[in-house]
Amino acid sequence: MKKILVSITICLILASCATAPYQGIFSYMAANQTAAESPSVVQVTNAAPVIPVTGRLPQAASDPAQVAPATDTPKPAIYAQNPQAAIATPIATLPPVPSGKSGIPNFDHIVLIMLENKDYQTVMDGTQMPLLATLAKQNVLLSNYYAVAHPSLPNYIALMSGSTQSITSDCTTCFLNQPNLADEIEASGRTWKAYLEDLPSPCFVGDSGSYAQKHNPLLYFDSIRLNATRCDRSILPLTSLDSDLANKTLPNFSFIMPNLCNSGHDCSATVADTWVNAMVTKLQGSPALGNNSLIVVAFDEGSNKDTSSCCGLPTTAGGQVAVVLISPTALPDMTDNTPYSHYSLLKTILTAWNLPDLGQSAQARPISTPWTGQINPTPTP
């Protein structure tokens, strides 16, 4: 009996000693099993296709849920010329856009700088506009963007109202009783101003020297032009911008238009390149702009020989133009090859501020990829 008890005791001692090392092995196996079952990459289901992104991630926007969290994980280069190739890339993707949200930040300030009559290649070959080409490479380039028509005025009216309003010329008396972006901005409690180089006086009607009314679209709308107080407050000479920056009274939306020379309309692309680079530098150097901001540099149309079109525009449109987005909240060093038009840019502003659609913006694709990394499908009319 003694022998049996001794044997049982020895067995129990051996089993107790063996438990500790085996517990470590079991814990290691369990941990690795859990890690193997937990994906290291967010798998997007029932969402728009995903584009991989390059470089650092942006600063947080007003709605942190709309922007990917900061991370030190390197990102693969974006497929600038073949977005379909990016869809199949299963690594280092951004999380899906939260349901019901566009991913476009609720910007404090949006600044739209317009230039004139330059084809995409003129800007991006780096010879005539090297400064803007550099800005495009450092920020976001929309490489598949099209103007809606020729000549200038229909494009400007489309940007502000979602329609050319049947305007087909650079008329100066074709005023409009139509809803427009400025109306909606004010209705939302936000502010706006148009700053125009060489405008003789606030709310001046007509042409004067190197200032052309056709490049001042908001003046064409009756709700603005016929309201003297509103018009004098908001349609201003470009010199007013300096005081607004100094006083930190920059409006939520700014429309900036150089004169006929500095816009590239009457002078060379090199002149326009120098002017716009100085303007962007001034804006970025001002605390009035802030980090939750977007600067858009766009061209109204390509050259008259380019009538190319895309994405729901008429077969004959305003040609391919370069558009550069500069925003601390956007993915840097990015080329977005998604087809866009002036209606897409209007849609983006409306979406950022949750404003009602205007005209054809209802059928336009908003520009959200620079913030989400995802290809945004065109909405169904």
* pLDDT computed for residue 240 by the predictor: 98
User: What's the pLDDT score for residue 11?
Assistant: 45
Contacts 24+ apart (CB under 8 A), 171-178: 171/214, 172/206, 172/207, 172/213, 172/214, 174/220, 175/220, 175/221, 175/222, 175/225, 176/220, 176/221, 176/222, 177/221, 177/222, 177/223, 178/221
Query: SS3 sequence, the chain?
Result: CHHHHHHHHHHHHHHHHHHHHHHHHHHHHHHHHHHHHCCCCCCCCCCCCECCCCCCCCCCCCCHHHCCCCCCCCCCCCCCCCHHHHHCCCCCCCCCCCCCCCCCCCCCEEEEEEECCCCHHHHHCCCCCHHHHHHHHHCEEEEEEECCCCCHHHHHHHHHHCCCCCCCCCCCCCCECCCCHHHHHHHCCCCEEEEECCCCCCCCCCCECCECHHHCHHHHEHHHHCCHHHHHHHEEECCHHHHHHHCCCCCCEEEEECCCCCCCCCCCHHHHHHHHHHHHHHHHCCCCCCCCEEEEEEECCCCCCCCCCCCCCCCCCCCEEEEEEECCCCCCCEEECCCEEHHHHHHHHHHHCCCCCCHHHHHCCCCCHHHHCECCCCCCC
Q: Does the residue 218 lie in any domain?
A: yes
Position of tokens 């920056």? 245
- What CATH number is attached to the domain comprising 278? 3.40.720.10
Distance CA 181, CA 192 (A): 9
Q: What's the average pLDDT block by block, 10 residues per block, for the chain (381 residues)? A: 50 45 38 37 33 41 38 34 31 35 92 97 95 97 98 98 98 98 98 98 98 98 98 98 98 98 97 98 98 98 95 96 98 96 98 98 96 71 44
* Count of structural domains, the chain: 1
The residues with which 192 forms a beta bridge, in sequence order, are: 253
So what's the pLDDT on residue 122? 93
Residue 189: which domain range?
A: 109-372
Q: Which pLDDT value is given to residue 360?
A: 97
- pLDDT score, position 377: 58
Which pLDDT score, from 0 to 100, does residue 102 have? Answer: 84
Q: Scanning the structure block, which residue is given the tokens 């349609």?
A: 235
Q: At CA 175, angle to CA 295 and CA 222, rounded to 5? A: 75
Are 72 and 78 a contacting pair, CB within 8 Å? no
Q: Would you say residue 320 lies in a domain? A: yes
User: Does the bond joining 130 to the residue before it have cis omega, within 30 degrees of 0?
Assistant: no
> Does a structural domain hold residue 45?
no
Q: How many CA atoms lie within 13 A of 40 on its CB side?
A: 6
Q: Does 18 map to a domain?
A: no
Strand partners, 176: 221
Q: How far does Cα 290 stand from its chain's mean position?
A: 16
Residue position matching structure tokens 């983006």? 348
- Residue type for position 52: P
361 is a domain residue? yes
Which amino acid makes up residue 80?
A: A
Residue 306 lies in a domain: yes
Please give the pLDDT value at position 376.
63
Answer whether 202's CB lies under 8 Å from 236's CB: yes
Spatial contact of 332 and 134, defined as CB atoms under 8 Å apart: no
Query: Is residue 234 in a domain?
Result: yes
CA dihedral over 160, 166, 170, 173, signed as positive or negative: negative
In a domain, residue 221? The reply is yes
Model-level pTM? 0.76
* pLDDT score of 375: 72
- pLDDT at residue 371, rounded to an integer: 96
